[in-house]
Amino acid sequence: MLKIELEENKNFYNTIFIGGGTPNILNDRQLINLFEAILNHVKLPENYEWTIELNPELVNINKLLIFKDYGINRLSLGVQSLKDEELKFFSRLHRKKDVYKKLELINKMGFENVNIDLIFGGPLQTLKDWENILKEVVNFPITHISTYLLTIEEGTPFEKLKIKLQDEETIEKMFLIRDEILESYGFYRYEISNYAKKGFECKHNLIYWKRENYIGIGPSASSFIKPNIRYKNPESIKLYIEDYKKYREIEILNEEQILLEKIYLSLRLSEGLEIENAEIFKEFEDYLYIENNRIRLKLKGILILDKLVIEIFSLALKFSKLR
Protein backbone atom coordinates (compact mmCIF):
# COMPACT_ATOMS: atom_id res chain seq x y z
CA MET A 1 0.00 0.00 0.00
CA LEU A 2 1.37 3.42 -0.98
CA LYS A 3 0.37 6.43 1.08
CA ILE A 4 1.19 10.00 0.11
CA GLU A 5 0.58 13.08 2.23
CA LEU A 6 -1.30 15.85 0.41
CA GLU A 7 -0.47 19.40 1.44
CA GLU A 8 -3.13 21.97 0.65
CA ASN A 9 -2.56 24.64 -1.99
CA LYS A 10 0.84 23.26 -3.02
CA ASN A 11 1.92 21.39 -6.11
CA PHE A 12 4.19 18.96 -4.27
CA TYR A 13 4.03 16.23 -1.67
CA ASN A 14 6.11 16.35 1.49
CA THR A 15 6.11 12.68 2.43
CA ILE A 16 5.74 9.30 0.77
CA PHE A 17 5.39 6.03 2.66
CA ILE A 18 5.47 2.68 0.86
CA GLY A 19 4.37 0.03 3.27
CA GLY A 20 1.59 -1.73 5.03
CA GLY A 21 3.07 -4.93 3.61
CA THR A 22 6.40 -6.07 2.22
CA PRO A 23 7.30 -3.75 -0.69
CA ASN A 24 10.77 -5.21 -1.17
CA ILE A 25 9.23 -8.53 -2.19
CA LEU A 26 8.88 -6.82 -5.59
CA ASN A 27 11.69 -7.57 -8.02
CA ASP A 28 14.04 -4.85 -9.20
CA ARG A 29 12.10 -4.07 -12.38
CA GLN A 30 8.81 -3.84 -10.50
CA LEU A 31 10.33 -1.48 -7.95
CA ILE A 32 11.74 0.73 -10.72
CA ASN A 33 8.36 0.83 -12.47
CA LEU A 34 6.70 1.82 -9.20
CA PHE A 35 9.20 4.58 -8.45
CA GLU A 36 9.04 5.90 -12.02
CA ALA A 37 5.24 6.09 -11.77
CA ILE A 38 5.49 7.98 -8.49
CA LEU A 39 8.03 10.51 -9.74
CA ASN A 40 6.02 11.08 -12.93
CA HIS A 41 3.15 12.39 -10.79
CA VAL A 42 4.79 13.76 -7.64
CA LYS A 43 6.95 16.78 -6.93
CA LEU A 44 9.09 16.64 -3.80
CA PRO A 45 10.48 19.63 -1.85
CA GLU A 46 14.05 19.73 -0.56
CA ASN A 47 13.13 18.49 2.92
CA TYR A 48 10.95 15.58 1.78
CA GLU A 49 10.74 12.22 3.56
CA TRP A 50 10.35 9.04 1.50
CA THR A 51 10.09 5.82 3.48
CA ILE A 52 9.95 2.22 2.35
CA GLU A 53 9.28 -0.74 4.65
CA LEU A 54 11.62 -3.73 4.34
CA ASN A 55 11.82 -7.30 5.54
CA PRO A 56 15.46 -7.99 6.55
CA GLU A 57 15.78 -11.21 4.58
CA LEU A 58 14.90 -9.41 1.33
CA VAL A 59 17.40 -6.56 1.69
CA ASN A 60 20.22 -6.70 -0.86
CA ILE A 61 22.68 -4.33 -2.47
CA ASN A 62 20.78 -4.10 -5.78
CA LYS A 63 17.58 -2.96 -4.11
CA LEU A 64 19.43 -0.49 -1.92
CA LEU A 65 21.11 0.99 -5.00
CA ILE A 66 17.69 1.41 -6.63
CA PHE A 67 16.40 3.15 -3.50
CA LYS A 68 19.38 5.51 -3.63
CA ASP A 69 18.89 6.22 -7.34
CA TYR A 70 15.26 7.20 -6.83
CA GLY A 71 15.77 9.33 -3.74
CA ILE A 72 14.32 7.14 -1.00
CA ASN A 73 15.85 8.57 2.16
CA ARG A 74 14.24 6.62 5.01
CA LEU A 75 14.20 2.85 5.55
CA SER A 76 12.02 0.93 8.01
CA LEU A 77 13.23 -2.56 8.86
CA GLY A 78 10.87 -5.16 10.33
CA VAL A 79 13.30 -6.59 12.90
CA GLN A 80 10.61 -7.53 15.50
CA SER A 81 13.03 -9.38 17.82
CA LEU A 82 16.68 -10.32 18.29
CA LYS A 83 15.75 -13.64 19.87
CA ASP A 84 15.77 -16.40 17.23
CA GLU A 85 13.25 -18.50 19.15
CA GLU A 86 10.83 -15.58 19.08
CA LEU A 87 11.40 -14.89 15.39
CA LYS A 88 10.49 -18.51 14.65
CA PHE A 89 7.37 -18.09 16.79
CA PHE A 90 6.39 -15.01 14.73
CA SER A 91 7.04 -17.03 11.51
CA ARG A 92 9.70 -14.54 10.47
CA LEU A 93 12.27 -15.75 7.95
CA HIS A 94 15.26 -13.76 9.21
CA ARG A 95 17.39 -14.38 12.28
CA LYS A 96 19.47 -12.16 14.55
CA LYS A 97 22.63 -12.59 12.46
CA ASP A 98 20.70 -11.39 9.38
CA VAL A 99 19.66 -8.19 11.16
CA TYR A 100 23.30 -7.32 11.90
CA LYS A 101 24.37 -8.16 8.36
CA LYS A 102 21.62 -6.12 6.68
CA LEU A 103 21.99 -3.10 8.97
CA GLU A 104 25.72 -3.07 8.28
CA LEU A 105 25.00 -3.05 4.54
CA ILE A 106 22.38 -0.30 4.90
CA ASN A 107 24.84 1.79 6.88
CA LYS A 108 27.65 1.27 4.33
CA MET A 109 25.27 2.38 1.58
CA GLY A 110 24.88 5.72 3.35
CA PHE A 111 21.26 5.61 4.55
CA GLU A 112 21.19 7.98 7.53
CA ASN A 113 17.51 7.72 8.54
CA VAL A 114 16.66 4.15 9.54
CA ASN A 115 13.85 2.79 11.70
CA ILE A 116 13.50 -0.67 13.17
CA ASP A 117 10.26 -2.27 14.41
CA LEU A 118 10.20 -4.31 17.61
CA ILE A 119 7.43 -6.40 19.19
CA PHE A 120 7.23 -6.92 22.95
CA GLY A 121 4.97 -8.73 25.39
CA GLY A 122 4.99 -12.09 23.60
CA PRO A 123 4.73 -15.36 25.55
CA LEU A 124 8.38 -16.31 24.92
CA GLN A 125 9.80 -12.97 26.04
CA THR A 126 10.97 -12.39 29.61
CA LEU A 127 11.68 -9.01 31.17
CA LYS A 128 15.39 -9.76 30.86
CA ASP A 129 14.99 -10.66 27.17
CA TRP A 130 13.27 -7.32 26.52
CA GLU A 131 15.93 -5.42 28.45
CA ASN A 132 18.74 -7.14 26.54
CA ILE A 133 17.11 -6.48 23.15
CA LEU A 134 16.71 -2.78 23.92
CA LYS A 135 20.28 -2.43 25.16
CA GLU A 136 21.47 -4.08 21.96
CA VAL A 137 19.42 -2.11 19.42
CA VAL A 138 20.44 1.31 20.79
CA ASN A 139 23.91 0.60 19.40
CA PHE A 140 22.61 -0.07 15.90
CA PRO A 141 23.16 2.60 13.18
CA ILE A 142 19.53 3.74 13.46
CA THR A 143 17.63 6.94 14.23
CA HIS A 144 14.14 5.66 15.08
CA ILE A 145 12.61 2.72 16.97
CA SER A 146 8.97 1.63 16.79
CA THR A 147 7.88 -0.69 19.60
CA TYR A 148 4.57 -2.52 19.44
CA LEU A 149 2.86 -4.47 22.20
CA LEU A 150 1.78 -7.86 20.87
CA THR A 151 -2.00 -8.15 20.64
CA ILE A 152 -4.07 -11.13 19.53
CA GLU A 153 -6.58 -10.25 16.83
CA GLU A 154 -9.79 -12.18 16.37
CA GLY A 155 -9.60 -14.87 13.69
CA THR A 156 -5.79 -15.00 13.57
CA PRO A 157 -3.67 -18.16 14.01
CA PHE A 158 -2.48 -16.86 17.40
CA GLU A 159 -6.08 -16.71 18.63
CA LYS A 160 -6.74 -20.26 17.46
CA LEU A 161 -3.61 -21.42 19.29
CA LYS A 162 -4.91 -19.70 22.45
CA ILE A 163 -1.62 -17.85 22.92
CA LYS A 164 -1.31 -16.44 26.43
CA LEU A 165 0.18 -12.96 26.66
CA GLN A 166 2.12 -11.48 29.56
CA ASP A 167 0.20 -10.37 32.64
CA GLU A 168 -0.57 -6.70 33.28
CA GLU A 169 2.19 -6.26 35.88
CA THR A 170 4.84 -7.61 33.51
CA ILE A 171 3.58 -5.44 30.64
CA GLU A 172 3.77 -2.36 32.86
CA LYS A 173 7.38 -3.21 33.74
CA MET A 174 8.15 -3.67 30.03
CA PHE A 175 6.84 -0.18 29.33
CA LEU A 176 9.00 1.24 32.13
CA ILE A 177 12.11 -0.61 30.94
CA ARG A 178 11.48 0.60 27.39
CA ASP A 179 11.28 4.27 28.41
CA GLU A 180 14.24 4.11 30.76
CA ILE A 181 16.64 2.41 28.36
CA LEU A 182 15.72 4.11 25.11
CA GLU A 183 15.58 7.61 26.55
CA SER A 184 18.91 7.13 28.34
CA TYR A 185 20.48 6.45 24.93
CA GLY A 186 19.00 9.51 23.21
CA PHE A 187 15.80 8.03 21.77
CA TYR A 188 12.90 10.07 23.14
CA ARG A 189 9.28 8.89 23.01
CA TYR A 190 7.23 11.29 20.90
CA GLU A 191 4.29 8.90 20.44
CA ILE A 192 3.04 5.93 22.46
CA SER A 193 4.92 3.38 20.35
CA ASN A 194 7.62 5.49 18.71
CA TYR A 195 11.04 6.77 19.74
CA ALA A 196 13.41 8.93 17.74
CA LYS A 197 16.64 10.82 17.98
CA LYS A 198 15.96 14.56 17.82
CA GLY A 199 15.01 15.60 14.31
CA PHE A 200 14.26 12.07 13.12
CA GLU A 201 10.60 11.77 14.09
CA CYS A 202 8.59 10.13 11.31
CA LYS A 203 7.09 13.09 9.44
CA HIS A 204 4.66 10.88 7.60
CA ASN A 205 3.12 9.25 10.65
CA LEU A 206 2.81 12.63 12.36
CA ILE A 207 0.46 13.58 9.53
CA TYR A 208 -1.93 10.82 10.68
CA TRP A 209 -1.71 11.63 14.36
CA LYS A 210 -2.23 15.36 13.78
CA ARG A 211 -5.17 14.76 11.41
CA GLU A 212 -3.60 16.41 8.38
CA ASN A 213 -4.52 15.56 4.79
CA TYR A 214 -3.18 12.41 3.15
CA ILE A 215 -3.91 10.26 0.12
CA GLY A 216 -3.79 6.45 0.22
CA ILE A 217 -3.07 4.64 -3.06
CA GLY A 218 -3.71 0.94 -3.56
CA PRO A 219 -6.28 -1.64 -2.41
CA SER A 220 -7.52 -1.09 1.19
CA ALA A 221 -5.66 2.24 1.45
CA SER A 222 -7.38 5.05 3.36
CA SER A 223 -7.33 8.78 2.70
CA PHE A 224 -8.31 11.80 4.77
CA ILE A 225 -9.40 15.34 3.87
CA LYS A 226 -9.59 17.51 6.94
CA PRO A 227 -11.63 18.16 8.90
CA ASN A 228 -14.14 15.38 8.33
CA ILE A 229 -13.85 13.29 5.13
CA ARG A 230 -12.33 9.83 5.13
CA TYR A 231 -12.50 7.30 2.33
CA LYS A 232 -11.15 3.79 1.85
CA ASN A 233 -10.31 2.00 -1.38
CA PRO A 234 -11.83 -1.45 -2.05
CA GLU A 235 -9.87 -4.40 -0.64
CA SER A 236 -10.24 -6.38 -3.86
CA ILE A 237 -7.41 -5.81 -6.35
CA LYS A 238 -9.86 -6.65 -9.16
CA LEU A 239 -12.37 -3.99 -8.05
CA TYR A 240 -9.59 -1.49 -7.40
CA ILE A 241 -8.29 -1.86 -10.97
CA GLU A 242 -11.79 -1.86 -12.43
CA ASP A 243 -12.85 1.45 -10.82
CA TYR A 244 -11.49 2.30 -7.37
CA LYS A 245 -13.54 5.50 -7.14
CA LYS A 246 -16.76 3.62 -7.75
CA TYR A 247 -16.13 1.03 -5.05
CA ARG A 248 -14.43 3.08 -2.35
CA GLU A 249 -16.20 3.68 0.96
CA ILE A 250 -16.71 7.33 1.96
CA GLU A 251 -17.34 8.45 5.53
CA ILE A 252 -18.31 11.96 6.62
CA LEU A 253 -17.42 12.45 10.28
CA ASN A 254 -19.80 14.40 12.50
CA GLU A 255 -18.63 16.81 15.21
CA GLU A 256 -18.64 14.15 17.93
CA GLN A 257 -16.61 11.74 15.81
CA ILE A 258 -14.08 14.48 15.05
CA LEU A 259 -13.80 15.28 18.76
CA LEU A 260 -13.33 11.62 19.74
CA GLU A 261 -10.70 11.10 17.05
CA LYS A 262 -8.86 14.26 18.01
CA ILE A 263 -8.71 13.21 21.66
CA TYR A 264 -7.48 9.71 20.85
CA LEU A 265 -4.83 10.73 18.32
CA SER A 266 -3.57 13.74 20.31
CA LEU A 267 -3.15 11.71 23.49
CA ARG A 268 -1.00 9.21 21.61
CA LEU A 269 1.54 12.00 21.13
CA SER A 270 3.87 13.00 23.95
CA GLU A 271 2.79 16.63 23.55
CA GLY A 272 -0.75 15.58 24.43
CA LEU A 273 -3.97 17.50 23.95
CA GLU A 274 -4.59 21.21 24.37
CA ILE A 275 -7.88 22.13 26.01
CA GLU A 276 -9.33 25.38 27.31
CA ASN A 277 -9.97 24.19 30.87
CA ALA A 278 -7.79 21.19 31.61
CA GLU A 279 -8.74 21.26 35.30
CA ILE A 280 -12.01 19.49 34.53
CA PHE A 281 -9.97 16.30 34.13
CA LYS A 282 -8.66 16.35 37.73
CA GLU A 283 -10.42 13.07 38.46
CA PHE A 284 -8.05 11.41 35.98
CA GLU A 285 -4.82 12.78 37.46
CA ASP A 286 -3.61 9.24 38.25
CA TYR A 287 -3.55 8.70 34.49
CA LEU A 288 -2.83 12.20 33.12
CA TYR A 289 -0.36 15.03 33.51
CA ILE A 290 -2.49 18.18 33.69
CA GLU A 291 -0.69 21.49 33.19
CA ASN A 292 -0.88 24.72 31.17
CA ASN A 293 -4.23 23.84 29.55
CA ARG A 294 -2.80 20.58 28.27
CA ILE A 295 -3.30 16.94 29.22
CA ARG A 296 -0.71 14.22 28.58
CA LEU A 297 -0.67 10.51 29.34
CA LYS A 298 1.11 8.98 32.30
CA LEU A 299 2.17 5.34 32.06
CA LYS A 300 -1.05 4.23 33.78
CA GLY A 301 -2.97 6.17 31.15
CA ILE A 302 -1.14 4.47 28.30
CA LEU A 303 -2.11 1.08 29.69
CA ILE A 304 -5.84 1.92 29.60
CA LEU A 305 -5.85 4.38 26.70
CA ASP A 306 -9.01 3.18 24.92
CA LYS A 307 -11.14 3.24 28.08
CA LEU A 308 -9.64 6.53 29.23
CA VAL A 309 -10.34 8.24 25.89
CA ILE A 310 -14.04 7.38 26.13
CA GLU A 311 -14.27 8.89 29.62
CA ILE A 312 -12.37 12.03 28.61
CA PHE A 313 -14.56 12.35 25.53
CA SER A 314 -17.76 12.16 27.62
CA LEU A 315 -16.47 14.80 30.01
CA ALA A 316 -15.23 17.08 27.23
CA LEU A 317 -18.68 17.02 25.61
CA LYS A 318 -20.21 18.30 28.85
CA PHE A 319 -17.76 20.94 30.00
CA SER A 320 -15.31 22.18 27.45
CA LYS A 321 -14.44 22.87 23.87
CA LEU A 322 -11.16 21.52 22.55
CA ARG A 323 -8.83 23.80 20.65
Average pLDDT over residues 163-186: 93
What pLDDT does 321 receive? 55
pLDDT band at 53 (very low <50, low <70, confident <90, very high): very high
Residue 10: the pLDDT is: 42
DSSP 135: H
Burial 284-318 (b: 16+ CB within 10 A, else e): beebbebeeebbbbeeebbbeeeebbeebbeebee
pLDDT of residue 245: 94
- In the chain, the domains with their CATH numbers are 2-199 (3.80.30.20), 258-323 (no CATH)
Give me the chain's average pLDDT, please. Answer: 92
Query: Does residue 130 carry a pLDDT above 70?
Result: yes
pLDDT at 44 over 60: yes
User: Each residue of 200-243: pLDDT tens digit?
Assistant: 999 999 999 999 999 999 999 999 999 999 999 999 999 999 99
In contact, 217 and 248? CB cutoff 8 Å:
no
**If we measure between CA atoms, which residue out of 51, 27, 26, 120 comes closest to residue 79?**
120
Give the C-alpha distances (Å, rounded to integers) separating 165 from 84, 111, 124, 129, 219. Answer: 19, 36, 9, 15, 32
Nearest to 308 by CA among 290, 283, 291: 283
- The pLDDT value given to residue 227: 94
pLDDT for residue 7 is more than 50 = no
d(CA 105, CA 271): 35
The DSSP result for 228-271, as a single string, is TEEEE--S-HHHHHHHHHHH-EEEE--HHHHHHHHHHHHHHBTT
Amino acid 21: pLDDT: 72
User: Residues of 191-216 as b/e, b for ≥16 C-beta within 10 angstroms?
Assistant: bbbbbbeeebbbbbbbbbbebbebbb
Q: Given pLDDT bands bounded at 50, 70 and 90, which one contains residue 20?
A: confident
**pLDDT for the residue 233:** 97
More confident residue, 78 or 162: 78
| Residue 151 pLDDT level (bands cut at 50, 70, 90) | confident
Q: What is the reported pLDDT for 9?
A: 39
pLDDT at 2: 55
Tell me the HSE value of 181 on the side-chain side, using a 13 A CA sphere.
20
Residue 71 has pLDDT above 70, yes or no: yes
Quick: pLDDT tens for 259-318. 999 999 999 999 999 988 888 899 999 999 999 889 999 999 999 999 999 999 999 888
pLDDT score, position 4: 53
